[in-house]
Amino acid sequence: MRISEFLSPPAIVSDLKARDKQEVLRELSAALARAHPTLKAERLVEVLREREKLGSTGIGEGVAIPHGKLPGLGQLVAAFGVSRQGVDFEAIDGKSTHLFFALVAPENSAGVHLKALARISRLFKNPRFRASILEASTVEAIHALIVQEDARP
């Protein structure tokens, strides 16, 4: 599974304006809805918020992977956002979060959903990669870095 299969440039926000967790979820949901016009941003926000109620998806090292499942969704979709100032996302390490990868999967897709989460988590464990994403200033540059890193064995 490659991230480029479910993340496209229109779903990337190179400079999130959000100042808190709820604003991040709204901004990422809006990006997903722009990239996938059949999806409604309000519904996506609800899905992501429901999962956050179970515990923060802030995995630490400045990364969060908010995710959820949406009934009726035909395929896995994702949005990615960079917060230059950082946001308190209640991450497990207590640090500010700068890189957000929102993932929404079809309701009955546990295998695909878990594979995608694992792939994203593994990619963003690399400190050099995280730094390069933070230095990139355009959607195109961010997308190219993700695709390049994802192509590594």
pTM of the model: 0.95
Q: Residue 67 catalytic?
A: yes
Each residue of 107-120: b (16+ CB within 10 Å) or e? eeeeebbeebbeeb
Catalytic residue among 36, 67, 98, 113: 67
The per-residue pLDDT string of the chain (153 residues; one tens digit each, 9 = 90 and over) reads 899 999 999 999 999 999 999 999 999 999 999 999 999 999 999 999 999 999 999 999 999 999 999 999 999 999 999 999 999 999 999 999 999 999 999 998 878 889 999 999 999 999 999 999 999 999 999 999 999 999 987
Domains contained in the chain, CATH given: 3-150 (3.40.930.10)
Cα–Cα distance measured from residue 51 to residue 13, given in angstroms and rounded to the nearest whole number: 21
